[in-house]
């Protein structure tokens, strides 16, 4: 008999339900540091009423609680410890949206690996990451947590992160089980308002929001977290069609569903369950395995069984899945295996610091560089470094930063001092990052702005460190007007009025809609929340030690009224024609974003030749290779990302104007030329037919290459997908 069958045969109902319960030891453990395990939880663990824990940190505390489970509980089943290890545990890489801008799956994987090693060392088994929500609405604060607007990027990100967190073998002491979240379409919540209902077409769901999750399943992710939201009245936490029929049935998912915080209980608030008992029954029947922190499973499953709403077989099946994941993680053999000092992690601290520094540099996006004001010369007059983001450690690492060791964070002030040994760097706060509530605060800002102005007049160039405070980015951080906060806009206007060369370094977790400023500043470098080594990485870019190479993973709107604005729109029957009234357009702002998806400048100067197909016509089985020649015409080395888009010109349902098929980031020395070849196979031409089933439709495809999704600058070639010869 297998261990799981044997266990199930001896477990009481309470012990079975206990394996489906995950409790939090309080988010404050993360903020204020480790604290002792709380007594009630210890008792719950001892009696088998709790099988998983989140938010407990610190190896000693985790091991102490694990010891209660494996030594003092009747069945000695190990606990599963989970935490949001999103972009680092101690050492932080840039936030995920920022990291996506690097367009480097190798880096995405590496930063997940180093986070896994640090978290495992502390005894964590499961991370609630990667977040794979496609997001096309920067009003939604959680756009910061995911890979941006495009499903192809989402797929690549999913696979890289699952590989990075889980490693080759989930039972290794350095593997962290990954949770693909939030399944699905959370990013499409109404008007960007967090937790609000989702209303999208089934086609968009399948074509845009689901692919990243399917990729995570294919990569072997051990867990999935259903989203808080409902899609057209179907709350994800209780939907059998999505969780079981689609993901387990069609995709072959073999891991566990971990609910989002309180989400099972919230089925009552959604209005699909009358009480916690019904909520528990609905979720269990849908396929939800772990109830995170709602009282629905612990309080509701037993009465649900008594009421005949669920069967004991269903409970057993669910418990078996949870135990199987514990088994796959090697917890029965080595409950304390993680954080074993006798088995050191593969990387050293210095290596981890080097990786996050590289990631921060590769993530920054140079939006503008008028008159090539950047990079700043190594020698010269003083540099004014001004703004509320110059020296605030928390603002460097942003939301969901794990334990993000504050003492180890390099701020801009420190980074600039190191990067410019030949120039004086004069620093001023400029104003507070948030809005002053009272007169004293306003007076303080006025004084800080005046001081900054005076300081700027003594310098040759100003670097303005502006942005969005990290408290306004992430969960429950929707903003109707995502832009600079407090009096930063006024500070910027006053500094710009001095007429000095002015570079904006923007710290943010989403596109900030500050069109005026972005048009006026001489250069703008978006650095997101760049992580533990952010100050050094950003200073390297400003000083030119490294050339910027990041590309926007999301279109940057010119005006809030354009939202959602994204490149994968379907064509209109009345495409926009300048000066023609009855074509698709706004009367007050352009249709196009301020910066398109993929935009990002460099100190190098890249050119791209028209793509050449291996054959102008091909059959699906043969595929087609598209080659383009990239040249660095500049005097400096640099890296850039080349995108390959396709457009299915005539199909049974209208296809998007552009569909991203491939991207590749390459580094070229000054003057270097290289051919990039993209191989497209039948799968790249598959579309979902009117019945949403995959199919191939022969005909013309326009294949375009470019450095962004700006249609005017793409280079295009048409190819023909031939019909298969009829079988005789």
At 68, is the secondary structure helix, strand, or coil?
A: helix
Dist. CA 641–CA 660, nearest whole Å: 13
Dist. CA 290–CA 22, nearest whole Å: 6
Residues of the shown chain interacting with ligand NOJ in the complex, contacts defined by CB under 6 A: 84, 128, 181, 260-261, 475
Residue 128 or 174: the one with the smaller Cβ distance to ligand NOJ is 128
At 189, is the secondary structure helix, strand, or coil?
A: strand
Q: 137 — phi, psi (to 5°)?
A: -135, 100
Residues in Cβ contact with 682 at an 8 Å cutoff, skipping those fewer than 6 apart: 620, 621, 623, 696
At 618, is the secondary structure helix, strand, or coil?
A: strand
Dist. CA 200–CA 24, nearest whole Å: 33
Q: 207 — phi, psi (to 5°)?
A: -85, -30
Dist. CA 603–CA 670, nearest whole Å: 10
Output the smallest distance, CB 470 to ligand NOJ, in A.
16
At 231, is the secondary structure helix, strand, or coil?
A: strand
- Establish whether 260 is a catalytic residue: yes
Output the smallest distance, CB 554 to ligand NOJ, in A.
19
Residue 84 or 291: the one with the smaller Cβ distance to ligand NOJ is 84
Sheet holding 365-369, edge to edge: 365-369, 523-526, 502-507, 461-467, 383-386, 425-428
Residue 181 or 352: the one with the smaller Cβ distance to ligand NOJ is 181
Dist. CA 651–CA 250, nearest whole Å: 26
Output the smallest distance, CB 22 to ligand NOJ, in A.
10
Pairing mode of beta strands 502-507, 461-467: parallel
Residue 99 or 293: the one with the smaller Cβ distance to ligand NOJ is 293
Give the nearest residue (CB) to ligand NOJ: 128
- Lookup: tokens for 166: 């889980």
Output the smallest distance, CB 278 to ligand NOJ, in A.
23
- Lookup: tokens for 53: 């824990």
Question: DSSP state, 168?
Answer: S
DSSP 421-452: TTS-EEEE--S-SS---SHHHHHHHHHHHHHH
Through-space distance between the first and last CA atoms of the chain, rounded to whole angstroms: 53
Residue 181 or 599: the one with the smaller Cβ distance to ligand NOJ is 181
Quick check: 93 and 359 in contact, CB under 8 A?
A: yes
Residue 261 or 566: the one with the smaller Cβ distance to ligand NOJ is 261
Output the smallest distance, CB 385 to ligand NOJ, in A.
35
Per the residue annotation, which of 84, 121, 133, 260 is the catalytic one? 260
Residue 30 or 495: the one with the smaller Cβ distance to ligand NOJ is 30
Output the smallest distance, CB 209 to ligand NOJ, in A.
16
Output the smallest distance, CB 96 to ligand NOJ, in A.
12
Catalytic site positions: 260
């Amino acid at each position: 008999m297998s261990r799981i069958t044997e266990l199930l045969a001896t477990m009481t109902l309470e012990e079975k339900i206990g394996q489906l319960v995950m409790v939090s030891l309080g988010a404050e453990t993360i903020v204020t540091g480790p604290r002792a395990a709380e007594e009630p939880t210890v008792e719950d663990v001892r009696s088998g009423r709790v099988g998983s824990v989140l938010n407990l940190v610190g190896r000693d505390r985790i091991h102490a609680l694990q010891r209660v489970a494996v030594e003092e509980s009747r069945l000695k089943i190990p606990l599963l410890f989970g935490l949001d290890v999103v972009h680092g545990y101690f050492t932080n890489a840039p936030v995920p949206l920022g990291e996506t801008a690097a367009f480097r799956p190798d880096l995405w994987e590496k930063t997940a690996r180093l986070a896994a090693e640090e978290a495992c060392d502390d005894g964590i088994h499961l991370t609630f990451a990667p977040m794979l929500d496609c997001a096309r609405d920067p009003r939604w604060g959680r756009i910061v947590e995911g890979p941006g607007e495009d499903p192809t990027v989402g797929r690549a990100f999913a696979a890289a992160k699952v590989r990075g967190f889980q490693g080759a073998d989930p039972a290794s002491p350095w593997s962290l089980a990954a949770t693909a979240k939030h399944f699905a379409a959370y990013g499409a919540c109404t008007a960007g308002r967090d937790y609000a209902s989702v209303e999208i077409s089934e086609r968009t769901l399948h074509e845009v929001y689901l692919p990243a999750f399917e990729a995570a399943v294919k990569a072997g992710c051990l867990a999935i977290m259903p989203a808080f939201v409902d899609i057209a009245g179907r709350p994800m936490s209780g939907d059998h069609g999505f969780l079981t029929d689609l993901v387990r049935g069609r995709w072959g998912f073999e891991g566990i569903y971990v609910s989002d915080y309180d989400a099972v209980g919230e089925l009552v608030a959604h209005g699909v369950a009358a009480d916690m008992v019904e909520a528990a029954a609905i979720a269990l029947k849908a396929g939800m395995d772990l109830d995170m922190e709602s009282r629905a499973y612990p309080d509701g499953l037993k009465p649900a069984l008594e009421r005949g709403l669920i069967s004991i077989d269903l409970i057993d099946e669910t418990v078996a899945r949870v135990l199987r994941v514990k088994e796959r993680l090697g917890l029965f053999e080595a409950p304390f295996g993680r954080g074993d000092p006798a088995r050191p992690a593969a990387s050293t601290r210095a290596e981890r610091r080097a990786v996050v520094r590289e990631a921060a540099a590769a993530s920054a996006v140079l939006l503008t560089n008028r008159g090539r004001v950047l990079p700043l010369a190594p020698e010269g007059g003083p540099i004014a470094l001004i703004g509320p983001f110059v020296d605030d450690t928390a603002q460097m690492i942003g939301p969901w930063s794990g334990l993000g060791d504050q003492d180890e964070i390099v701020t801009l002030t420190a980074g600039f001092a190191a990067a410019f040994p030949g120039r004086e760097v004069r620093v001023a706060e400029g104003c507070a990052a948030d809005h002053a509530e009272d007169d004293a605060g306003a007076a303080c800002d006025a004084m800080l702005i005046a001081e900054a102005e005076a300081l700027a007049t003594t310098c040759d160039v100003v670097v303005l460190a502006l942005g969005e405070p990290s408290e306004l980015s992430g969960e429950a951080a929707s903003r109707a007007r995502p832009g600079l906060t407090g009096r930063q806009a006024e500070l910027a206007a006053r500094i710009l009025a001095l007429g000095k060369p002015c570079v904006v370094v923007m710290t943010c977790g989403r596109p900030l809609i500050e069109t005026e400023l972005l048009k006026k500043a001489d250069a703008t470098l978006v650095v997101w929340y760049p992580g533990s080594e952010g100050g050094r990485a950003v200073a390297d870019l400003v000083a030119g030690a490294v050339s910027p190479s990041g590309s926007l993973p999301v279109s940057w709107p010119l005006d809030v009224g354009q939202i959602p604005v994204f490149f994968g729109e379907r064509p209109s029957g009345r495409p926009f024609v300048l000066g023609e009234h009855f074509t698709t357009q706004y009367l007050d702002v352009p249709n196009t974003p301020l910066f398109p998806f993929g935009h990002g400048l460099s100190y190098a100067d890249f050119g791209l030749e028209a793509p050449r197909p291996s054959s102008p016509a091909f059959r699906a089985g043969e595929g087609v290779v598209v080659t383009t020649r990239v040249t660095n015409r500049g005097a400096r080395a640099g890296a850039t990302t080349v995108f390959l888009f396709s457009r299915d010109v005539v199909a049974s349902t209208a296809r998007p104007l552009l569909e991203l098929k491939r991207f590749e980031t390459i580094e070229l020395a000054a003057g270097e030329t290289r051919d990039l070849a993209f191989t497209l196979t039948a799968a790249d031409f598959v579309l979902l037919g009117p019945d949403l089933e995959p199919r191939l439709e022969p005909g013309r495809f326009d294949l375009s290459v470019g450095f962004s999704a700006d249609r005017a600058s793409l280079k295009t070639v048409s190819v023909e997908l031939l019909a298969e010869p009829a079988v005789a």
